[in-house]
Amino acid sequence: MSSSSRAPWRQRLRLRLRGHPGILIAGSVLLLIALASLILPALSPYDYFTPQLDLISRPPMLRGGHLLGTDPLGRDLLIRVLWGCRISLLIALVASLISVLVGVLWGAIAGYVGGHTDALMMRTVDVLYSVPFVPFVIVLTMLFGRQLWLMFVAIGAVSWLDIARIVRGEALSLKRREFIEAARVAGVHGARMIGRHIVPNLLGVVIIYATLTVPSVILFEAFMSFLGLGVRVPLASLGSLIADGASDMQAHPHLLLVPATVLATIIYCFNFLGDGLRDLLDPRRQT
């Protein structure tokens, strides 16, 4: 135990990573998908929006340039899926970040301060919970049109509620722990108490929940695109590609299978990453 804590930070991280090959695998797969979605569209001779009416709904083939085939408008499916990954990953990261930041702060403050503050903050959460989500998004799109930032706001605004509740519950039980009492006796209070003592001890729960939020946000976006509320055509997200593919799945299954497989892979990798990160960041679980 002592040799690992003497090692410098980087070396220790490498040591610990060795015990969790899952993190490395899931992480590199995600990185690969992200990089591919950023770089490949620029290198490809095709773009995501120009129809090629002589190449409608071609199946995947190695020759002819369209590796994964084309869609009913003759657009290259690989490029459209990569663009879809871009959009979906961006929404997932931004919305999850918003929801984790807001949720953790909200929950930690409510739980630690307690009393009337707690009641007021948590009743606010309850009220927001009871807002029906889909009509809410429809109203938003009616007001502002179909815009990408609206998705960030809409998904972020809803998904922090769960985290806030969970974090508050944890903070309530932490508050009575002896080391928090000891910190209070030492005169620690306010923001420092929440930032240095409460939140770090919530990390395990938060990381698990954040990595669960990422896939749920991606699915959410897919669902909204499926309903026609998501990204605007001709831009595609994984969700809208799946929706398009599903309508044509008997004749051209590749239009559904390709984006669905990519989505499933991304979500699986995030779940795996969350599990590994929790173990990695807990100082008590050092290998």
* Residue 188 binds to another protein (criterion: CB under 8 A): yes
CA angle 56-61-62, nearest 5°?
Answer: 135
Distances (CA, A) of 131 to 9, 17, 90, 145: 45, 42, 25, 20
Interface with another protein: number of residues (CB under 8 A) = 26
- To another protein, the closest distance from the beta carbon of 200 in angstroms equals 4
Closest alpha carbon to 151 in 73, 231, 240: 231
* Residue 184 binds to another protein (criterion: CB under 8 A): yes
Which stretch in 66-74, 101-109, 171-179, 256-264 sits in contact with another protein by CB under 8 A? 171-179
34 vs 121, beta carbon nearer another protein: 121
Binds another protein (CB under 8 A): choice among 143, 186, 191, 251: 186
DSSP-based three-state secondary structure for 93: helix
* Residue 10 binds to another protein (criterion: CB under 8 A): no
Neighbours of 79 (CB within 10 A): 23
* Residue 182 binds to another protein (criterion: CB under 8 A): yes
Question: What is the contact mask toward another protein in residues 82 to 121, using x (rule: CB under 8 A)?
Answer: ---------------------------------x------
* Residue 196 binds to another protein (criterion: CB under 8 A): yes
* Residue 181 binds to another protein (criterion: CB under 8 A): yes
How far is residue 231's CA from residue 224's CA, in Å, rounded to a whole number? Answer: 9
Q: Phi/psi class of residue 52: alpha, beta or left (left: φ > 0; alpha: ψ in -120 to 50)?
A: beta
> 104 with 167: CB under 8 angstroms?
yes
* Residue 283 binds to another protein (criterion: CB under 8 A): yes
Which stretch in 47-55, 85-93, 160-168, 195-203 sits in contact with another protein by CB under 8 A? 195-203
* Residue 197 binds to another protein (criterion: CB under 8 A): yes
How far is residue 117's CA from residue 129's CA, in Å, rounded to a whole number? Answer: 18
User: Six-digit token pair at 128?
Assistant: 């927001």
